[in-house]
Amino acid sequence: MNRTVRALGVFAVVGLLAGGAPLLADDTNPSQDDKDKDAKKEAPAPATTDGNTVTKEVTATGPSGKTATGQTTWTKDGNTITRQGTFTGPNGKTATKNVTTTKSGNTVTRNATTTLPNGKTATSQNTWTNDGNTVTRQGTYTGPNGKTATKNVTTTKSGNTVTRDATTTLPNGKTPPRKRPARPHARPHH
């Protein structure tokens, strides 16, 4: 039985290689309907550049015909990059996000503000400092409800060992317990 199945498999491969390949190639050619559909698709708009500013606009149309749009602009000024984005969903509601990233020596600072369609804002500030083999990140996050959480992470490389120490402080001032790594369980022997 095994030899018969193997022989049939070999014959199928030989048949495809000998005479079936042109048949398969014909199947991969797009039909006129497919060509018409592809012609109706909008090509994504290329990014435009004006000096130190790059702007990208995107429009997506869903199956219901509703559209969502987005426009993002990046501007570089020395060691600072500013990104401004506006996003309008298919429901017509708009959100914005503004991010400023600045590099100064061994420190990178990123400030972000997101404004939701209801007008409420969420903000974050992260600072990364590289000191030899140690990178320290300090982050503060304030949600649209006005509550703030912080996260501090220190990552150190020593030879082939990387150590990461992280502390998160929740808006209520508490620090969540650290998750313990999963321990392997002994398998029962039968």
For residues 135 and 96, give the distance between their C-alpha atoms in angstroms, rounded to a whole number: 30
What is the tens place of the pLDDT at every residue in 153-188? 999 999 999 999 999 999 988 888 766 655 565 666
Query: pTM here?
Result: 0.66
- Give SS3 for 54: strand
Q: What is the pLDDT of residues 4-46, one digit of tens each?
A: 434 444 444 334 344 444 433 444 445 555 544 444 445 566 7
Pair 112, 95: CB distance under 8 Å: no
